[in-house]
Amino acid sequence: MASIRREISLDTPAHDVWEAVRDFSQVHARVAPGFLTSLEMQDGDRVVTFFNGLVARERLVTLDDDGKRLVYSIVEGRPTHHNASFEVLGDGNGGSRVVWTADLLPNELAPAVAAMMDQGLVVMKKTLDA
């Protein structure tokens, strides 16, 4: 199983970043506008469309306000298995770090998923530090 871990530093306080990240149904507007071009809620899942036309149905697994950690899984899309988490951490200087980890199968998707995560983090930094 491929495991991809990415991290970014933000100037924005962890509490403010978490308030945006935890809003599962508004990630396209509050966290990654343009990277995600649309989002539709269906039976508790979010169906997201990415900038490149890929569509995935994502299911919320865990929303941990105390730990500032959100876990979701792609239940319909290209991967046969996908589980990912966002963790928001304070940096001790008034800013924050976001750690995004994804575990997926088949392994062959890892380079493409990693590249998309890298692009998503660029948008997230711009949006969350605005």
Residue-range domains of the chain with CATH:
2-128 (3.30.530.20)
User: Residues 105-116: pLDDT tens digits?
Assistant: 999 999 999 999
Q: Give the integer Cα–Cα distance in Å for 115 and 95.
A: 25
pLDDT at residue 77 in the model: 82
Q: Are 65 and 49 in contact (CB under 8 A)?
A: no
How many whole angstroms separate alpha carbon 69 and alpha carbon 14?
11
Measured CA to CA, the distance from residue 16 to residue 5 in angstroms comes to 22
Q: Look up residue 40 and give its amino acid.
A: E
pLDDT at 78: 87
β-strand 69-76 against 96-105: which pairing, if any? Answer: unpaired
Give the residue ranges of the chain where pLDDT is below 50: none
